Amino acid sequence: MTAQILDGRAIAEKIKSDIAKKVQLRIKNNLCVPGLSVILVGSNPASQTYVNHKRKACEAVGIISNVYLLPENVAQNALEKLIDNLNADDNVHGILLQLPLPKHIQTDELLERIISKKDVDGFHPYNLGRLVQKRPLLRPCTSYGVMTLLNATGETLAGKHAVIVGASNIVGRPMALELLLAQCTVTVCHRATQHLSQHIKAADILISATGHHGLIQSEWIKPGAIVIDVGFSRLSNGKITGDIEFDTAKKRAGWITPVPGGVGPMTVATLLQNTIMAAELSD
């Protein structure tokens, strides 16, 4: 068996093409051009790379993008003031606070300070609450991007057993909500989970989001399973990899995402979708 590859880059390009058409239609109809403001604190190389990808993606589809670069030692109240100003700016439809933030910053308070209709990351308690209640509006980008990938397989998701490894607020928890919405049976594994391999062996859908390469062994994968690797690691030899060893896992899986080129492009594309939706909410 050799898995079919879920090409996140190709699917993301189709989404971006559709978004570009929506932006042009808005302009034709004399509606405002969607605007996204990104707040980047410090000089984390991975965060800088992500923000650069988001900026280029915005430019490609016609979304106005502004990046606010702030020093590592920025004060909490300075960030609060910036968010308040962006909340009040009618030309800003989406606000993204690039995570992670420095340890002295109270991240949850800032995420909640962004008004819910501009929360294009989908992390505001209101937007997460709507997802819990099966009435999603602005949805967390990575988990919703994964759902787009899963739907691209053409497989029936309802009734499948989905196992998520990793329970973070950014990926694992919203991912569980998305899969429940799709009528999957969901198991969430975390650092206190016992007998991890047994849970993984039962997974029709395996989603790994730990950032720890090698934690999951390829021989644990159920033959024919859909494998979504959200992890991102750089090995000592400089190679970028996911949580799972791709070359061995693809010999057991039915579908698999590469790293890079799988989930990452989908996260950015979903952010653009959310920004368009946020602009529509302001019309």
In whole angstroms, give the CA distance from residue 123 to residue 115: 11
Quick one: three-class SS letters along the chain? CCCEECCHHHHHHHHHHHHHHHHHHHHHCCCCCCEEEEEEECCCHHHHHHHHHHHHHHHHHCCEEEEEEECCCCCHHHHHHHHHHHHHCCCCCEEEECCCCCCCCCHHHHHHHCCHHHECCCCCHHHHHHHHCCCCCCCCHHHHHHHHHHHHCCCCCCCCEEEEECCCCCCHHHHHHHHHHCCCEEEEECCCCCCHHHHHHCCCEEEECCCCCCCCCHHHCCCCCEEEECCCEECCCCCEECCCCHHHHCCCCCEECCCCCCHHHHHHHHHHHHHHHHHHHHC
Q: Which is it for strands 255-256 and 205-208: parallel, antiparallel or unpaired?
A: unpaired
In whole angstroms, give the CA distance from residue 102 to residue 276: 29
Whether 48 is catalytic is no
Q: Which is it for strands 233-234 and 240-241: parallel, antiparallel or unpaired?
A: antiparallel
Whether 121 is catalytic is yes
Selected catalytic residue, list 98, 117, 160, 243 = 98
Residues in the chain: 283
Whether 119 is catalytic is no
- Encoding tokens for residue 191? 């650092």
Selected catalytic residue, list 54, 117, 118, 160 = 54
Selected catalytic residue, list 16, 118, 121, 222 = 121
Which residues does the annotation mark as catalytic? 54, 98, 121
